[in-house]
Structure 1
Amino acid sequence: MHTPHLRSSRRTVLALIGASLVAGPAIATAPANAAAAAAATGLDDPAKKEIAMKLVSSAENSSLDWKAQYKYIEDIRDGRGYTAGIIGFCSGTHDMLDLVELYTRRKPGNALAAYLPALRRVDGTDSHQGLDPGYPDAWRRAAQDQAFKQAQNDERDRVYFNPAVQRGKADGIGTLGQFAYYDAIVMHGDGDDGTSFGGIRRRALDRAKPPARGGDEVTYLNAFLDARVWAMKQEEAHEDTSRVDTAQRVFLRNRNMNLDPPLDWKVYGDSFHIG
């Protein structure tokens, strides 16, 4: 059973930090990829990213098998039109349009390309005009194409995953905190209004300092999750806060700041385990 709880559209930036060190011959022989390896210390570590995908899928799709969701599409009657794919791209919130445009640039004439005019018309609404009855079937056909799967991966990273990790690192929070940011951006969007990620973060900063500003990580993350719960309760579709209360709070109470397995949590009454 699919139980996605989605959000609005969003944007962000990419930051890059580098350093160099000149020393004797022994230093000169150090591996060239040492800096890159050191940088992947958070949610962007491949093993941690896989855990993040499973955690989000447990809430969005009641399943840990996130790779089975490329073909998923339905209208969940949340005012955002069709919700589809591995992260819940929505026809009413611009991210689905961006995705299909990317796919069409990479593979013109694909199964979804003919629906681009309709997607542009319904963007920002819950309308299906021009999409019914064939769009869901076209989406499922496209999901058999590796190029479409890759486009979904790339847009997920550009719009949701990378911004969350970059902002989390800038705030000095570790893997769990970066995941809390990611899950919030997925649901609420990367905007600046009170119930978007930006508003949630501001509400948390009013109550606690992140480690980058000399604060305690656990205290700050508790403040962030409090702000997240408040934002969720502002919208009926998000009023079940178990993806925070019986998942992220559990990891935080256990001081599992690195999201190290085994992990046990519940979302919307369903129990999940990563060994």
Structure 2
Amino acid sequence: MTGLLKHGLALLLALAALCTACTATARENAPTALDDPAKKEIAMRLVSSAENSSLDWKAQYRYIEDIGDGRGYTAGIVGFCTGCGDLLKVVERYAAARPDGNVLKPFLPALRAVRGGDSHDGLGSAFTTAWQRAADDDPAFRETQDDERDRVYFDPAVDAARDDGLGALGQFIYYDAYVMHGLGDARGSAGFRTIREQALEKAESPAKGGDEAAYLNAFLDARVRAMKQEKAHEDTSRVETAQRVFLDADNLALEPPLKWQVYGDSYRIDGG
């Protein structure tokens, strides 16, 4: 091997080592995303404070009631609804995982019939009791709620936020909007997709070179307008005295300690 070839090979090896080191450093310094277990736990607790007035989100597997918002029964860890149809998907998934001895499976015809409205026909106390029994007695039902939450809400929200160049706070803001509004418009109220489009009309996303805080403020402004379109959601404290508080503090990484208020109640998550 000539001296020139040796020199070239050594240079290539040095560049390869440098690239490896840079990649490792970038990975170490990358902001923690919302699907990190610790961050995801924070997200679940934040949503539970707004949906259930409690930080104990795992106690909400058995939650079920009609809150009078025109969506029938609201239930479970992210407020699956009989009227929206996502509660039906939970029960269908549970029936597939537990075909025998499933206390909710007999209600599938009624759940299909009431989808799109607020009717309790074929459901009532027998259904709410069965929901709570499944949540209390069967880990498979709790796992089903987790899986459906991730499939319909958490994973799409985090993926969309990453595509828009958002960190953990922005990913949570997207997730909470997905939980409340769903992806598409419904009942005259804007869904996540429309809220995002309205935000992009006011500010560039970080992925397009925009300022992250400015874009998130535009998104929250659009979300507040969407919430005020529905009487059941006209209290905007889950945005204004929670998410906007974190944003105003420039806590784009959603790092504890976190202090916020929802519906007049105060909450806190301290650092681990």
Q: Same fold (TM over 0.5)?
A: yes
Q: Give the 3-state SS of the residue equivalent to 1:133 in structure 2.
A: helix
Report sequence identity in percent: 65
Q: Is the 8 A contact 2:134 2:141 kept in 1?
A: yes
Question: How many Å apart are 1:137 and its aligned residue?
Answer: 0.4
1:69 paired with 2:60, answer yes
Structure 1 segments (4+ residues) deviating >4 Å: 22-27, 33-40
Alpha-carbon distance change, 94 to 37 in structure 1, aligned in 2, over 3 angstroms: farther
| CA displacement 1:117-143 (0-9 Å, x = unmatched) | 111111111111111230010001100
* Distance in 2 between residues matched to 1:184 and 1:190, nearest whole Å: 9
Who is 2:7 aligned against? none
Q: Give the 3-state SS of the residue equivalent to 1:53 in structure 2.
A: helix
Alpha-carbon distance change, 206 to 136 in structure 1, aligned in 2, over 3 angstroms: same
Who is 1:247 aligned against? 242
1:142 paired with 2:137, answer no
Who is 1:208 aligned against? 203
Higher mean C-alpha displacement, 205-214 vs 40-49: 40-49
Question: TM-score by structure 1 length?
Answer: 0.86
Alpha-carbon distance change, 115 to 48 in structure 1, aligned in 2, over 3 angstroms: same
Query: What is the total number of aligned residue pairs between the two structures?
Result: 251
Q: Give the 3-state SS of the residue equivalent to 1:134 in structure 2.
A: helix
Who is 1:191 aligned against? 184
Who is 1:229 aligned against? 224
1:94 paired with 2:111, answer no
Q: What amino acid does structure 2 have at the position aligned with 1:46?
A: P
Q: Give the 3-state SS of the residue equivalent to 2:124 in structure 1.
A: coil
Question: How many Å apart are 1:35 and its aligned residue?
Answer: 11
* Distance in 2 between residues matched to 1:173 and 1:216, nearest whole Å: 10
* Distance in 2 between residues matched to 1:117 and 1:253, nearest whole Å: 48
1:113 paired with 2:105, answer yes
Who is 1:3 aligned against? none
Structure 2: 5+ residue stretches without partners: 1-11
Who is 2:75 aligned against? 84
Q: Give the 3-state SS of the residue equivalent to 1:273 in structure 2.
A: strand
1:173 paired with 2:193, answer no
* Distance in 1 between residues matched to 2:30 and 2:145, nearest whole Å: 24
Question: How many Å apart are 1:42 and its aligned residue?
Answer: 1.1
Question: How many Å apart are 1:66 and its aligned residue?
Answer: 0.0
Q: What amino acid does structure 2 have at the position aligned with 1:238?
A: H
Q: What amino acid does structure 1 have at the position aligned with 2:92?
A: E
1:161 paired with 2:146, answer no
Question: TM-score by structure 2 length?
Answer: 0.87
Q: Of 45, 70, 74, which aligns to 1:54?
A: 45
Question: How many Å apart are 1:167 and its aligned residue?
Answer: 0.2
Q: Which has the higher contact order (CA 8 A, sep 6+)?
A: 1
Q: Of 117, 121, 124, which aligns to 1:129?
A: 121
Q: What amino acid does structure 2 have at the position aligned with 1:67?
A: K
Larger radius of gyration: 2
Alpha-carbon distance change, 111 to 37 in structure 1, aligned in 2, over 3 angstroms: farther
Q: What amino acid does structure 2 have at the position aligned with 1:150?
A: E
Alpha-carbon distance change, 26 to 214 in structure 1, aligned in 2, over 3 angstroms: closer
* Distance in 2 between residues matched to 1:182 and 1:152, nearest whole Å: 16
